[in-house]
Amino acid sequence: MLQREQGNSQNTKPEKARGLMSLLLEVYATAVRAYKIYFRYTAWFLADLITTPIWILVLLLPILMFLPKSEWNNPVTINFFFWAMVMWDIVSAGLWSFGQAIRREQQTGTLEFLFLTNANRAIVFARSIFTTSLDIVIRFIYMVIVFKLLFNVGILLLNPLGLIFVFIIGLFIAMGFGQIYGAMVLRFKNVGPATNILQFLILGISGIFFPVSKLPFSLRIVSLFSPFTYIADLTRFMAMGTRTILDPVMELTLLIVLAIILDAMGLWIIRYVENKLKRTGQLGAY
């Protein structure tokens, strides 16, 4: 009995190591594939570089219309907008990557092949996270320069390490929601219109571009239930030193707990939908 138990524990270690190795291998393979596809389309990369400052202006100018001309170069307004854009870039990478990847695999006819493997679904469909991370770094540097040139305003960054940590937690929370959204794509196929509506709802109630204290009371209550409210709040706190809704440590703890719960839930939902579709034969129906 004792011998068997010892034997079992000896067997578990290499199995766990093998499991970890295969997980790393999956991450590596997914990343390589993502970058290969990414660098194949240089036109998109160049188009992004050209259009980013233009779209920033298109988004920022209508808001400036509500301010007197003398305040158009106000560093607080510009910094608010800048960090909101960077944060939203990161969050939306996590939110939509799974759904988009699943839809792409459906359209190219490779989804069933991926489901024939025993690869981790979260890793396989998170491929655009790798390329988007590179995109975000490039865009960040680029946007700092563009903002300086366009508005002659320096970008505040008080606590870089804290900010990176908030971004990572924010990305994981978004990935949790992203997996639920991915499961919806798997089930309902074309959910593009829902994506846009959802995006505007989140932007509206989570105080991404302005503090939630400016919202009407009823919406302010709703905003407190959105994790993105705290991601935006902590982003501004780490970068600009603004006041937070709750204690910063409490907000951070809340986000970490949420990230763990949402990611576990997301993965479970994808598995559940996949199994259900497999049973009903709808996995290959587009």
Partner 1 sequence: MRSLSRKVQLGQLHVLKGIFVKTFRIMSRYVGTWIMIMTLPYMVSGLFVGIGYAVGGQNAQKNFYQNTGVSDPLLYSVLGGSIMLAAIIVLEEIGAVIREEQLIGTFELIYLTPNNTMLIWFYHIMPIATLMITVFSIDVTPILVWKGSMLSPLEWVIVAGVIFISMLPLVGIGLIIAALTVRFKEIWAVINVINSVITLLSGYYYPLEIFPSIVQAIAFVIPTSRGVQILKDIIAKRCIPTNMFEHITILLLLSVFYLCLGFITYRRWEYVAKRTGELSKY
217 binds partner 1 (CB under 8 A): no
Task: Note whether 86 and 170 are within 8 A (CB).
Answer: no
- In the complex, the smallest distance separating the C-beta of residue 259 from partner 1, rounded to whole angstroms, is 26
Site residues (CB under 8 A) for partner 1, limited to 47-86: 47, 50-51, 54-55, 57-58, 61-69, 77, 80
Mark the segment that binds partner 1 (CB under 8 A) among 28-36, 208-216, 220-228, 235-243.
Answer: 208-216
203 binds partner 1 (CB under 8 A): yes
Q: Which of 11, 25, 163 shows the shortest CA–CA distance to 82?
A: 163
99 binds partner 1 (CB under 8 A): no
Torsion of the alpha carbons at 272, 278, 280 and 285, rounded to the nearest 10: 110
Which amino acid makes up residue 50? Answer: I
CA distance linking residue 56 with residue 45, whole number of Å: 17
Q: Which of 167, 149, 143, 153 shows the shortest CA–CA distance to 228?
A: 167
Which amino acid makes up residue 58? Answer: V
Please count the residues of this chain forming the interface with partner 1, following the rule CB under 8 A. 36
User: Helices in the chain by DSSP H: which ranges?
Assistant: 2-40, 42-64, 75-108, 111-116, 121-124, 127-151, 160-188, 192-205, 217-223, 227-240, 248-280
- In the complex, the smallest distance separating the C-beta of residue 140 from partner 1, rounded to whole angstroms, is 19
43 binds partner 1 (CB under 8 A): yes
261 binds partner 1 (CB under 8 A): no
Mark the segment that binds partner 1 (CB under 8 A) among 20-28, 42-50, 109-117, 163-171.
Answer: 42-50
The residue whose two tokens read 């524990």 is 9
Options 210, 222, 246, 248; binder of partner 1; rule CB under 8 A: 210
| Contacts to partner 1 by CB under 8 A | 41, 43-44, 46-47, 50-51, 54-55, 57-58, 61-69, 77, 80, 190, 192-194, 196-197, 200, 203-204, 209-211, 214-215
